[in-house]
Amino acid sequence: MKKSLSLLAGILLMAQAAYAANALPTVKTFTVPTSAVSPIPVSSFIATDTDGTVTGYMITESSSKPSASASGWSVSPLTSYTTTKTGSVTLYAWAKDNAAGVSAAKSATTTIVSGHTHNQSDVVGLAASLAAKADAKALADGLAAKADVIHNHDALYQKKYGNVAVVAQTGGDYSDPYTAMANVSTWCNNGSPCLLKIMPGVYDIGTNIIPMASNVDIEGAGVGTTKIVGGFSYYIVGNTEIRAISIEGAISMQYIGDTSFKNVRIAPPADQGTAIWSNFTRGVVTIADSEIVASSEGINEWHYEYMPSLNIINSKITAGFAAVTRGGITSVTGSELTASVALLGNNAIVKNSVIKGGLNSGSFTMVNTQFLGGVSAGAAKCLNVYDADYNLITCQ
Indicate the helix (H) or strand (E) that contains 392: strand 392-393
Taking residues 368-393, what's their average pLDDT? Answer: 90
Ranking 103-107, 112-116, 223-227 by mean pLDDT, the lowest is 112-116
CA distance 80 to 59: 9
Sign of CA dihedral 158, 164, 168, 172: positive
* pLDDT number for residue 7: 54
Q: What is the mean pLDDT of the chain?
A: 84
Looking at residue 116, what DSSP letter applies? S
312 pLDDT higher than 90:
yes
At 123 the pLDDT is 46
What pLDDT does 269 receive?
95
CA-to-CA distance for 277 and 259, rounded, in angstroms?
A: 13
Is pLDDT above 80 for 14?
A: no
- The C-alpha angle 274, 278, 282, rounded to 5 degrees, equals 160
CA nearest neighbour of 345 among 365, 333, 330, 367: 330
Q: What is the pLDDT of residue 115?
A: 54
Q: How far is CA 65 from CA 60, 75, 94, 96, 105, in A?
A: 9, 18, 8, 11, 7
State CA 318 to chain mean position distance.
Answer: 33
194-198 and 285-288 strand pairing: unpaired
Local structure of 11: helix, strand or coil: helix
Backbone angles phi, psi at 55, to 5 degrees: -110, -5
Question: What dihedral angle (degrees, nearest 10) is formed by the CA atoms of 356, 358, 363, 364?
Answer: 20
Q: In sequence order, which residues have a C-beta less than 8 Å from that of residue 314 and are 6 or more positions away?
A: 288, 289, 333, 334, 335
Q: Say which range, 114-118, 215-219, 254-258, has the weakest mean pLDDT.
A: 114-118
pLDDT band at 102 (very low <50, low <70, confident <90, very high): very high
Cβ neighbours for 105, distance < 8 A, ≥ 6 positions apart: 27, 63, 65, 92, 93, 94
- Pairing mode, if any, of strands 35-36 and 106-112? parallel
- Backbone torsions φ then ψ of 34, nearest 5 degrees: -65, -25
Q: What is the pLDDT of residues 42-61, one digit of tens each?
A: 999 998 987 768 999 999 99
Taking residues 89-105, report their average pLDDT. 92
Pick the CATH number of 20-112 from 2.170.190.11, 2.60.40.10, 3.40.50.1980, 3.40.309.10: 2.60.40.10
Q: Would you tell me how many other CB atoms lie within 10 Å of the CB of residue 12?
A: 10
**Reported confidence tier of residue 362, pLDDT bands at 50, 70, 90:** confident
The pLDDT assigned to 135 comes to 54
Compute the distance between CA of residue 396 and CA of residue 380 in angstroms, rounded to an integer.
6
With contact defined as beta carbons under 8 Å apart, do 366 and 381 qualify? yes
The neighbour count for residue 362, using CB atoms within 10 Å, is 20
Query: pLDDT tens digit string along 233-248?
Result: 999 899 999 999 999 9
For domain 164-393, which architecture applies? 3 Solenoid (2.160)
Please, are residues 250 and 274 in contact by the beta-carbon 8 Å criterion? Answer: yes
Which pLDDT tens digit goes with each residue over 135-178?
Answer: 555 555 655 555 444 555 555 555 678 899 999 999 999 999 99
Integer Cα distance of 174 and 182 in angstroms: 11
Proportion of the chain above pLDDT 90, given as a percent: 60
| Angstrom distance (rounded) from CA 170 to CA 157 | 13
The full set of domain ranges for the chain reads 20-112, 117-150, 164-393
pLDDT confidence tier of residue 223, bands split at 50, 70 and 90: very high
